[in-house]
Each structure stands twice: as structure tokens, then as C-alpha cells.
Amino acid sequence: MIFAVRFHDRPDQLALRNAFLQTHLDWLAQHRDMIPIAGSLREAPNEGAVGGLWIVRAADRAEVEALIQTDPFWTQGLRERVEIHSWHRAFDDPVTL
């Protein structure tokens, strides 16, 4: 199954995000088989991140939840909350971003 995962960061925690950004990116690289698409979300292009969005391949929601628990941004307390949604493609053709 494919899931869309939306993270909301704790307000005023940009310093914490920056402190663990490289550790988080290294962790994402190690999980590229399950997380082919990931990135930060910002209210404007030049502002600090307020959260993130992943597209995740997993057997079920429980597998996604277990994966999130190992993310350094989660373990260090950056994330305020997370939304996990089953995602269903509208178009069959491949997407290149």
C-alpha cells in the first residue's frame, strides 16, 4: 500500500530541526526503499519548515507507525503530530518531479 504522511512540527523549534537535519536526512537515505518521496513543508519558500510530507510504501498503517518511531525528528521531539493517510493515485502514468 501507499501512504501519504503529513508531519506538523512543534512551533518555534526550527533550531531543533536544524540541529538534527543531517541525522534525519541520513536516516531517510537508509529508508529510501520505503520512503521514495520526502520533503519539508513551508508556508513560503524562504521561510523555515513547519513540517514535512512523505510518500511511504508499507504493508499497512502499523508498519508506517513503526517506521516513524525511528525517525530522528520524531525521537528528538520535533514533531507535534502526524497524519497518516492511505493514498490512491489518480493517474497511472509515472511521475517525475
70-88 residue pLDDT tens: 999 999 999 999 999 999 9
Rg from Cα positions in the chain: 14
Q: What's the pLDDT score for residue 56?
A: 98
Residues 8-56 pLDDT 10s: 999 999 999 999 999 999 999 999 999 999 999 999 999 999 999 999 9
**Is residue 95 pLDDT above 80, yes or no?**
no
Cα separations (Å) of 47 from 21, 22, 41, 97? 16, 19, 10, 22
3-state secondary structure 48-74: CEEEEEEEEECCCHHHHHHHHCCCHHH
- The CATH number of the structural domain formed by 2-86 is 3.30.70.1060
Under 8 Å between Cβ of 6 and 51: yes
pTM assigned to the model: 0.92
Domain spans in the chain, listed from the N-terminal domain onward: 2-86
